[in-house]
A and B are shown apart, each in its own frame.
Chain A
Amino acid sequence: MSRFALHRLWAIVLKEFIQMRRDRVTFGMMVGIPLMQLTLFGFAINSDPRHLPTALRLADHGPYARALVAALERSEYFTIVREAETEAEAAALLQRGDVQFVVNIPEDFTRRLLRGERPTVLLEADASDPAATGPAVAAARTLTATLFDRDLKGPLTRLRGQPGPVDFQVHAHYNPENITQYNVVPGLMGVVLTMTMVVITALAITRERERGTMENLLATPVRPTEVMIGKIVPYIVVGYIQMTLILIAARFLFRVPLEGSLVLVYGVSFLFIAANLAVGITFSTLAKNQLQAVQMAFFFFLPSILLSGFMFPFRGMPEWAQWIGSGLPLTHYLRIVRGVLLKGSGLTDIAPELWPLLLFLAVALLVGVKRYRRTLD
Chain B
Amino acid sequence: MAAPAPSTELAIDVAGVSKRFGDKTVVDGIDLQVRRGEIYGFLGPNGSGKTTFIRMLCGLLTPDAGRGTCLGFDLLREQTAIKPHVGYMTQRFSYYEDLSIRENLDFIARVYGVPERRAAVQRSLERLGLANRSHQLAGQLSGGWKQRLALAACLIHSPQLLLLDEPTAGVDPKARRDFWDQIHQLAAEGLTVLITTHYMDEAERCHRLAYLAYGRLLTRGTVPEVIAAARLTTWIVAGPQLRVIADALRGRAGVEQVVAFGNTLHVSGRDAVRLDAAIAAVRDADHTWTRGTASLEDVFIGLMDATRDNFA
Contacts and interface: CB of A to CB of B under 8 A. Distances in A.
A18 B95 CA distance: 14
B111 A376 contact: no
Contact of B2 (A1, A15, A22, A213): A1
Contacts of B96: 15, 19, 213
Task: Classify the secondary structure of B's interface with A.
Answer: loop
B83 A219 contact: yes
Contact of B81 (A1, A212, A222, A375): A1
Interface string B94-138: 111111000100011011110000000000000000000000010
Interface in A281-313: none
A212 B94 contact: yes
Interface in A5-22: 5, 7-8, 10-12, 14-15, 18-19, 22
Contact of A219 (B3, B60, B92): B60
Contacts of A18: 98-99, 103
B84 A15 contact: no
B97 A211 contact: yes
A62 B94 CA distance: 81
A212 B90 CA distance: 9
B294 interface: no
A11 B111 contact: yes
Given A218-B60, A221-B84, A376 B55 contact: yes
Interface residues of B, number: 31
A278 to B, nearest CB: 22
Nearest to A10: B110
B110 A7 contact: yes
Nearest to A219: B88
A190 to B, nearest CB: 31
Nearest to A220: B111
B80 A222 contact: no
A162 interface: no
Interface string A211-255: 111111011111100000000000000000000000000000000
Nearest to A23: B98
Nearest to B90: A215
Nearest to B84: A221
A303 B107 CA distance: 39
B93 interface: yes
A151 interface: no
A18 B92 CA distance: 23
Given A212-B92, A215-B90, A221-B83, A14 B113 contact: no
A219 B161 CA distance: 13
B58 interface: yes
A216 B98 contact: no
A14 B80 contact: no
B212 interface: no
A8 B84 CA distance: 12
A227 to B, nearest CB: 10
B209 to A, nearest CB: 24
Interface in B1-37: 2-3
B60 A215 contact: yes
Interface of A: 1, 5, 7-8, 10-12, 14-15, 18-19, 22-23, 211-216, 218-223, 374-377
19 contacts: A1-B2, A5-B113, A8-B110, A8-B111, A22-B98, A213-B94, A213-B96, A215-B60, A216-B90, A216-B94, A219-B58, A219-B59, A219-B88, A220-B112, A221-B111, A374-B59, A375-B59, A376-B61, A377-B62
Interface of B: 2-3, 55, 58-62, 80-81, 83-84, 86, 88, 90, 92-99, 103, 107-108, 110-113, 137
5 closest A-B pairs (Cβ-Cβ)? A11-B110, A216-B94, A219-B88, A221-B83, A22-B98
